Amino acid sequence: MKRANFWCALPALVMAALFLSAAAGLRAEPQSKGTAVLSGVVLGPNDKPVAHASVSYQYSDGSAPHAVFTDAHGHFAITQLKANSYDIRASSKGVFSEWQKNIPLKKGQSKSLELRLIYAREMPKSASSSKPKQ
């Protein structure tokens, strides 16, 4: 009788072992070889980390826009990026950081950034230098 129980449980044990080995392999190598990583933290106007802030990034020519969100501690990681130059900024509840532009990333490189949200009354330098058209 014990032998029959073993054979009945064998398919479930094999599936569990396959699942665990696949999951372990995913954790061991979270990014493809040769890709770049941009990571960092988003800080609010009070210099405290901002949970669940949106982090927008794109190629420096303005193409391929994407977004990720910070974790509960204000940290973000953008993995599997191609070698290129990137622009990045953060936002939360209508408050934005300035764009950090032309961040060059090479194959296999990792860079860490600090993005600071500013109040709307503190206009970014790039916005205050342009005059509205009349």
CATH number for the region 36-120 comes to 2.60.40.1120
| Separation CA 123–CA 1 (nearest Å) | 77
Contact between 111 and 103 under an 8 Å Cβ cutoff? The reply is yes
Flag residues of the chain having pLDDT under 70: 1-33, 120-134
Q: What is the pLDDT of residues 58-87, one digit of tens each?
A: 999 999 999 999 999 999 999 999 999 999
Model pLDDT, residue 23: 40
What is the reported pLDDT for 13?
A: 47
Residue 88 in contact with residue 56, Cβ under 8 Å? yes
